[in-house]
């Protein structure tokens, strides 16, 4: 068969190497140019983000909620494997001529380009990053391919045109092999240098220094001090205020946390308003700052889950900013966008409600917002799940209607309006713990933001409900701790909890999963008494 078209032919290994190294060069050059222009334009980040956006929402939401730091590694590994496969295929398609592989490399480069263009937050110039990567990939492919075939041809000269060597894959003589390997090594070193430089350049706009320069944010009206009886931490509940480093984190910024310097930050309020208003960070921090103690909750929190935390947020009332812009009647949705293009749709009523106390926050527990929690500024609205209210790195607020625009998670089938559901959780004893017999302390948290908790009840092994002691209430926008003692004999026991809010509604028993607007059901814990 090979007699018909018996040109020089690359061995499989060499061909695959040509493909993989070109992909490596493309990615590295894309990353370098991305670092120069905008780190989010790097094809690695953009393709990763496109993969995230195209993944079924249930999978993304599960991964966001459950994988912690492994998400990033997972997405990168996924993209890496994809690219490796593309490289190998491109190489194998091109054992005789470079064109099929170059065409495939170009097609993948174009896909990278589309992916970058598809990310709403990447500036138009960002397209240069995947474009440069594409050119580099195709060029390196051609270069390595000609190096390999040139040496292959030289090696082939002494043999007859049709030989078993050709069918089995060409073999390079020692000199040619050395030349090819040196060229390959050069590509690896060059790609490493370009990728590393891209990484350094991306880090030059790091927000850490800007955050440190913000200094102390002193609220004109501080939150009342947390009373000493507000938690039962000694008996196993969380502390009332969650330390910033322990505060739960949920966002789609899996691959790179947005880095926005305070001095570059601008917030625009526009749409159905009397006057479009723009605020700088200094405009905000020079206003009389308020501090509010608020418990935030994620809609994807399972019954008994960890996505609930409390902090003292410092900022300005969102209501004041919106009133200055002048919300026109008919607007029912506050559509907010973060610098990375994530969006949330909040009911205007909730944002404007003076008793609810929505904030544009710039501080958290006595510090500027941590970068992962939205530095320089985020929204915090008590009583609504984060996905409809808590936009981090917020740069744009448009007054519009729910009919006109759909935010990120709503497009992915989550609820439209999402008030936090009343919940309670057992923290002690821990699940499957072994405790001493006699008096067993059962303790935990409960929350019914904006309404307040009226009562928490516990029962063990399906027995009668017993009313728990409630910790001192801080305000109706925060969680409330509870505890109770039960006398239990040896064996395995199962405790259940249910909370009743100030309007008199008690948590329903039936488990409903988080999608689309929050989990319900009683939390239970099984433990052993010695």
Ligand X SMILES: Nc1nc2c(c(=O)[nH]1)N[C@H]1C(S)=C(S)[C@@H](COP(=O)(O)O)O[C@H]1N2
Residue ranges in contact with ligand X by CB under 6 A: 247-252, 296, 298, 338, 340, 342, 373, 386-387, 390-393
List of residues 6+ apart from 324 with CB closer than 8 A? 275, 277
In the complex, what is the shortest distance from the CB of residue 61 to ligand X, in angstroms, rounded to a whole number? Answer: 9
DSSP string, 291-344: EEEEEEE-TTPPTT-S-EEEEEEEEEEHHHHHHHH-BPTT--EEEEEETTS-EE
- Residue environment code for 113-150, b if the CB has 16+ CB neighbours within 10 A, otherwise e: bebbeebebbeeebbbbbbbbbebbbbbbbbbbebbbe
Q: What character string, x for contact with Mo ion (CB under 5 A) and - otherwise, covers 298-327?
A: x-----------------------------
In the complex, what is the shortest distance from the CB of residue 393 to ligand X, in angstroms, rounded to a whole number? Answer: 5
Q: Which does 393 bind (CB under 5 to 8 A by kind): Mo ion, ligand X, none?
A: ligand X
Stretch that binds Mo ion, among 17-25, 144-152, 211-219, 295-303 (CB under 5 A): 295-303
Is the CB of 338 or the CB of 484 nearer to ligand X?
338
Is the CB of 198 or the CB of 386 nearer to ligand X?
386
CA separation for the pair 383, 425 (Å, rounded): 18
The DSSP call for residue 387 is G
Is the CB of 298 or the CB of 448 nearer to Mo ion?
298
What CA–CA distances, in Å, run from 219 to 1, 289, 295, 316?
82, 5, 19, 9
In the complex, what is the shortest distance from the CB of residue 340 to Mo ion, in angstroms, rounded to a whole number? Answer: 16
Binding residues for Mo ion, rule CB under 5 A, total 4
Stretch that binds Mo ion, among 43-51, 293-301, 331-339, 439-447 (CB under 5 A): 293-301
239 CB-contact burial (10 Å; exposed 0-12 / middle 13-18 / buried 19+): middle
Question: How many Cα atoms are found within 13 Å in the side-chain-facing hemisphere of 206?
Answer: 8
Is the CB of 22 or the CB of 300 nearer to ligand X?
300
Stretch that binds Mo ion, among 203-211, 241-249, 270-278, 380-388 (CB under 5 A): 380-388
386 in contact with Mo ion (CB under 5 A): yes
Is the CB of 247 or the CB of 335 nearer to ligand X?
247
In the complex, what is the shortest distance from the CB of residue 378 to Mo ion, in angstroms, rounded to a whole number? Answer: 13
Q: Phi, psi (5° rounding) for residue 485?
A: -110, 140
Residue from 143, 387, 447, 479 touching Mo ion (CB under 5 A): that is: 387
Q: Phi, psi (5° rounding) for residue 182?
A: -65, -40
Site for Mo ion in 166-225 (CB under 5 A): none
- Residue sitting closest to ligand X (CB): 386
In the complex, what is the shortest distance from the CB of residue 251 to ligand X, in angstroms, rounded to a whole number? Answer: 3
């Amino acid at each position: 068969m090979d007699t018909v078209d018996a040109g020089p032919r690359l061995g499989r290994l060499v061909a695959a190497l040509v493909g993989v190294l070109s992909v490596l060069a493309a990615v590295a050059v894309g990353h370098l140019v991305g670092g120069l222009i905008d780190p989010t334009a790097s094809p690695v980040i953009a393709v990763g983000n496109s993969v995230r956006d195209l993944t079924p929402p249930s999978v993304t939401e599960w991964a966001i909620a459950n994988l912690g730091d492994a998400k990033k590694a997972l997405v990168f590994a996924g993209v890496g494997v994809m690219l490796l496969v593309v490289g190998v295929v491109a190489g194998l398609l091109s054992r005789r001529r470079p064109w099929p592989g170059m065409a495939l490399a170009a097609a993948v480069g174009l896909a990278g380009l589309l992916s970058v263009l598809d990310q709403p937050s990447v500036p138009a110039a960002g397209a240069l990053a995947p474009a440069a990567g594409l050119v580099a990939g195709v060029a390196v492919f051609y270069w390595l391919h000609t190096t390999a075939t040139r040496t292959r041809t030289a090696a082939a000269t002494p043999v007859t045109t049709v030989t078993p060597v050709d069918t089995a894959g060409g073999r390079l003589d020692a000199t040619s092999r050395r030349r090819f390997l040196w060229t390959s090594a050069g590509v690896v070193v060059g790609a490493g240098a370009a990728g590393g430089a891209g990484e350094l350049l991306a880090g030059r706009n790091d927000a850490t220094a800007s955050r440190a320069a913000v200094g102390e944010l002193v609220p004109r009206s501080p939150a009342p001090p947390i009373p000493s009886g507000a938690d039962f931490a000694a008996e196993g509940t969380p502390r009332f205020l969650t330390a910033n480093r322990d505060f739960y984190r949920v966002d789609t910024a899996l691959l790179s946390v947005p880095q926005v310097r305070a001095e570059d930050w601008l917030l625009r309020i526009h749409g159905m308003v009397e006057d479009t208003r723009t605020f700088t960070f200094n405009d905000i921090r020079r206003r009389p700052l308020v501090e509010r103690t608020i418990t935030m909750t994620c809609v994807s929190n399972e019954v008994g889950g960890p996505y609930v935390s409390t902090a003292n947020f410092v900022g300005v009332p969102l209501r004041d900013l919106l009133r200055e812009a002048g919300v026109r009647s008919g607007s029912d949705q506050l559509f907010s966008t973060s610098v990375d293009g994530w969006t949330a749709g909040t009911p205007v009523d909730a944002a404007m409600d003076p008793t609810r106390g929505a904030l544009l926050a710039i501080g958290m527990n006595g510090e500027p917002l941590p970068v992962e929690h939205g530095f320089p500024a985020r929204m915090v609205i008590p009583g609504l799940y984060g996905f409809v209210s808590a936009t981090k790195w917020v740069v744009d607020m448009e007054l519009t209607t729910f009919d006109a625009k759909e935010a990120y998670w709503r497009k992915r089938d989550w609820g439209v309006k999402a008030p936090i559901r009343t919940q309670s959780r057992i923290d002690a004893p821990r699940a499957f713990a072994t405790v001493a017999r006699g008096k067993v302390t059962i303790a935990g948290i409960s929350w019914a933001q904006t309404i307040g908790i009226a009562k928490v009840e516990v029962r063990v092994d399906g027995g009668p409900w017993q009313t728990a002691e409630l910790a001192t209430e801080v305000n109706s926008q925060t969680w409330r701790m509870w505890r109770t003692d039960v006398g239990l004999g040896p064996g395995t026991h199962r405790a259940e909890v249910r909370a009743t809010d100030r309007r008199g509604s008690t948590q329903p028993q039936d488990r409903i999963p988080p999608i689309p607007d929050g989990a319900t059901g009683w939390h239970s814990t099984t433990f052993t008494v010695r």
